[in-house]
Amino acid sequence: MQASITNTATRYGWATIVLHWLIGIIFIGQFMLGFVMVRTPSQRTAFELIQLHKSLGFLLLGLIILRIAWRLGNAAPPLPPSVGALERRSAPLAHLALYAFQVALPLSGWALVSVSTLEIPSMPFNLFVMPNLPLAESDAAESFWTSAHWYLAYAGAALVALHVAAALRHHFLLRDGVLTRMITPSSAGE
């Protein structure tokens, strides 16, 4: 049967599935890259890694905007009836928080390079110069946004870990198909 691009009443379509895993993989890679680059002793290597981190961050921001737009026009299928009342209420809140972090985190990174007095331009994948956000440069603003970026990155990673744990619980303990429906797309007519 032909895979459907859109979500159906019971399943996710392939566009949602591709965006979900693409963003998830880049997010985890981006977190590890951020962690490593600020601890790299060689200034030259650190510089190259930070440029890559900025490029991937802008890519993630674009993908997450696309994902939110797609989600607004394409309702998610409801949870299976076996899911308890507490999780039925908490899951949408956790998902909303995940979306909020995915927007706030790259924006805080963008803010931090925008206010930096070093004035190093951001060139996503060497393709074009990304304009800075209209924020005043200062060392105090840079240290504020660096802290904000740090807190958002670690809180976001904790939320992702919770999300992964919840998905694994559904798959291995509850065996209710909540994880598999984010792997196999809906079919036309389903």
Residue range at the interface with ligand HEM (CB under 6 A); choices 12-20, 72-80, 133-141, 146-154: 146-154
Q: Can you tell me the distance from the alpha carbon of 139 to that of 151, in angstroms, rounded to the nearest whole number?
A: 18
Q: Identify the residue among 4, 12, 17, 54 touching ligand HEM (CB under 6 A).
A: 54
Closest CA to 153 of 96, 93, 114, 112: 112
Q: Can you tell me the distance from the alpha carbon of 15 to that of 24, in angstroms, rounded to the nearest whole number?
A: 14
Q: Can you tell me the distance from the alpha carbon of 54 to that of 108, in angstroms, rounded to the nearest whole number?
A: 11
Residue with smaller CB distance to ligand HEM, 13 or 57: 57
Residue with smaller CB distance to ligand HEM, 3 or 135: 135
Q: Is 110 in the site for ligand HEM (CB under 6 A)?
A: yes
- 7 phi, psi to nearest 5 deg: -70, 155
Binding interface with ligand HEM (CB under 6 A)? 27, 30-31, 34-35, 38, 50, 53-54, 57-58, 60, 105-106, 109-110, 112-113, 122, 146, 149-150, 153
